[in-house]
């Protein structure tokens, strides 16, 4: 006998481990949406009239984040950053376009190669590819939101991402990274650092995959060719094994961290921020790391002309 949904007669679509129950497709979608809405309320992520920019990569997490924010009634626009990493980036952009059509949210696209002359991976530098990729993505995402007056930016980080990030940084005693991680990063530096929110903070990767499937959201599965070894995946694997044995391990670990986060504050080495001489955005030296890395002499203006 196939298992039945806890709330109706339909066959089970998924077996949840924590809380333990079988749900049909419809009741799973309802459960997932309610969970995300509650997370957003608990951490006071967005006010109803705030405009939010979602960074859609073409992958599942950001697509689900954008889809659900729209479904919950928020004013959503999306930004896709094409990193210029060959076929991988072209595919990602195609998925992002399809996802935003389905979601019914406007999509903006920034192409790193056209904007800065080189794609990620094509710059001659000693800096690791992922390090300057990360700084480039963070800068563009934040500056785009700031230039266009968004109140917040949302990313697709899920519970597994957060738990493995914390786990990894504890195992390596990178305590300075543990002082500021969380579901919401408030705006700062006179609004030039736009508020960051993570609506999927309390749902697992497995739930995100199931929700994408149940909602007909297609996404890129291929991994970036520069994806660093598998350490994050190894931490995720260990946490998944623990979760199997002790359901609730991940959520309890992350919630416990949020309660104890203040213990790491003494480790925070926050450099005094000042305005970058080139672009005016926050910098720890005279010029911000983005303008310095890309050798900019003029700021980039991301303002979109509205019809
Ligand atoms: S940082 Fe590195 Fe990612 Fe950039 S170069 Fe690819 S793997 S995309 S999350
Ligand atoms: Zn049901
Ligand atoms: Zn700058």
Model pLDDT for residues 171-197, shown as the tens digit of each residue: 999 888 898 889 999 999 999 999 999
Q: Distance from the CA of 203 to the center of ligand 2, in angstroms?
A: 19
| Residues 205/160, Cβ–Cβ less than 8 Å | yes
Q: Distance from the CA of 12 to the center of ligand 2, in angstroms?
A: 7
> What is residue 104's predicted lDDT score, i.e. its pLDDT?
96
56: closest CA among 100, 20, 19, 88? 100
Task: Judge if the beta carbon of residue 230 lies within 6 A of ligand 1.
Answer: no
Q: Which atom of ligand 1 is nearest to the CA of 120?
A: 5
Ligand 1, atom 7, residue with closest C-alpha: 227
DSSP single-letter state for residue 306: P
* Residue 1 exposed, middle or buried by CB count within 10 Å (0-12, 13-18, 19+): exposed
Task: Judge if the beta carbon of residue 123 lies within 6 A of ligand 1.
Answer: no
Average pLDDT for the chain: 94
Q: Which atom of ligand 1 is nearest to the CA of 121?
A: 5
Site to substitute for ligand 1 among 118, 129, 161, most atoms within 8 A of C-beta: 129
> What is residue 170's predicted lDDT score, i.e. its pLDDT?
93
Give the range among 48-62, 243-257, 262-276 with minimum mean pLDDT. 262-276
CA distances from 40 to 68, 193, 254, 258, 272 (A): 11, 20, 16, 15, 31
Tell if the pTM clears 0.85, that is, is over it.
yes
Task: Judge if the beta carbon of residue 130 lies within 6 A of ligand 1.
Answer: yes
Percent of the chain with pLDDT over 70: 97
Query: What is the distance of C-alpha 157 from the center of its chain?
Result: 4
Task: Judge if the beta carbon of residue 86 lies within 6 A of ligand 1.
Answer: no
Site to substitute for ligand 1 among 55, 59, 84, 133, most atoms within 8 A of C-beta: 133
Q: Which atom of ligand 1 is nearest to the CA of 228?
A: 7
Residues facing residue 283 across a β-bridge:
274
Q: Distance from the CA of 132 to the center of ligand 3, in angstroms?
A: 14
Going by pLDDT thresholds of 50, 70 and 90, the confidence category of residue 120 is very high
Six-digit token string for 75: 């004013």
* Residue 128 exposed, middle or buried by CB count within 10 Å (0-12, 13-18, 19+): exposed
Task: Judge if the beta carbon of residue 81 lies within 6 A of ligand 1.
Answer: no
> What is residue 229's predicted lDDT score, i.e. its pLDDT?
65
> What is residue 127's predicted lDDT score, i.e. its pLDDT?
93
Instruction: Name the closest ligand to CA 224.
Output: 1
pLDDT at 228 over 80: no
| For residues 270-274, average pLDDT | 81
Q: Which domains does the chain have, with CATH numbers?
A: 36-220+229-270 (3.40.50.620)
- Strands 107-111 and 20-23 come out as unpaired
Q: Which atom of ligand 1 is nearest to the CA of 134?
A: 1
Q: 80 by DSSP, 3-state: which? A: strand
Characterise 191 by phi-psi region: left (phi > 0), alpha (psi -120 to 50), beta (else): left
Instruction: Name the closest ligand to CA 135.
Output: 1
Task: Judge if the beta carbon of residue 287 lies within 6 A of ligand 1.
Answer: no
* Residue 109 exposed, middle or buried by CB count within 10 Å (0-12, 13-18, 19+): middle
Task: Judge if the beta carbon of residue 120 lies within 6 A of ligand 1.
Answer: yes
Characterise 37 by phi-psi region: left (phi > 0), alpha (psi -120 to 50), beta (else): alpha
> What is residue 307's predicted lDDT score, i.e. its pLDDT?
60
Going by pLDDT thresholds of 50, 70 and 90, the confidence category of residue 230 is low
Q: Where are the beta strands (DSSP E) in the chain?
A: 14-17, 20-23, 51-55, 75-82, 107-111, 152-154, 184-185, 195-197, 274-275, 282-283
Query: What is the distance of C-alpha 121 from the center of its chain?
Result: 22
Ligand 1, atom 9, residue with closest C-alpha: 227
| Residues 26/32, Cβ–Cβ less than 8 Å | no
Task: Judge if the beta carbon of residue 226 lies within 6 A of ligand 1.
Answer: yes
Residues facing residue 78 across a β-bridge:
54, 107
């Amino acid at each position: 006998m196939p298992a039945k949904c806890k709330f109706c007669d339909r066959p089970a679509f998924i077996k949840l481990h924590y809380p333990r129950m079988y749900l049909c497709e419809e009741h799973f979608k309802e459960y997932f949406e309610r969970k995300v809405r509650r997370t957003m309320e608990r951490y006071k992520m967005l006010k109803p009239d705030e405009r939010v920019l979602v960074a859609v990569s073409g992958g599942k997490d950001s697509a689900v984040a954008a889809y659900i924010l729209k479904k919950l009634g928020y004013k959503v626009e999306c930004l896709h950053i094409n990193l210029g990493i060959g076929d991988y980036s072209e595919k990602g952009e195609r998925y992002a376009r399809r996802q935003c059509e389905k979601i019914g949210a406007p999509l903006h696209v920034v192409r790193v190669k056209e904007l800065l002359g080189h794609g990620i991976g094509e710059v001659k530098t000693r800096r690791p590819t992922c390090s300057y990729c990360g700084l480039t993505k963070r800068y563009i995402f934040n500056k785009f939101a700031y230039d266009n007056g968004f109140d917040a930016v949302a990313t697709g980080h899920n519970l597994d991402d957060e738990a493995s990030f914390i786990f990894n940084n504890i195992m390596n005693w990178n305590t300075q990274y543990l002082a500021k991680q969380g579901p919401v990063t408030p705006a700062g530096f006179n609004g030039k650092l736009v508020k960051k929110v993570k609506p999927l903070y309390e749902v697992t990767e497995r739930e995100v995959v199931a929700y994408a499937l149940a909602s007909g959201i297609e996404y890129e599965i291929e991994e970036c060719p520069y994806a660093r070894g598998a350490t994050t995946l190894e931490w995720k694997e260990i946490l998944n094994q623990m979760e199997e044995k002790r359901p609730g391990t991940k959520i309890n670990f992350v919630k416990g961290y949020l309660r104890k986060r203040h213990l790491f504050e003494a480790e925070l080495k926050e450099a005094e921020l000042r305005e970058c001489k080139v672009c005016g955005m926050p910098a720890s030296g005279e010029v911000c790391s983005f303008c310095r890395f890309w050798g900019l002499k003029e700021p980039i203006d991301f303002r979109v002309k509205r019809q």
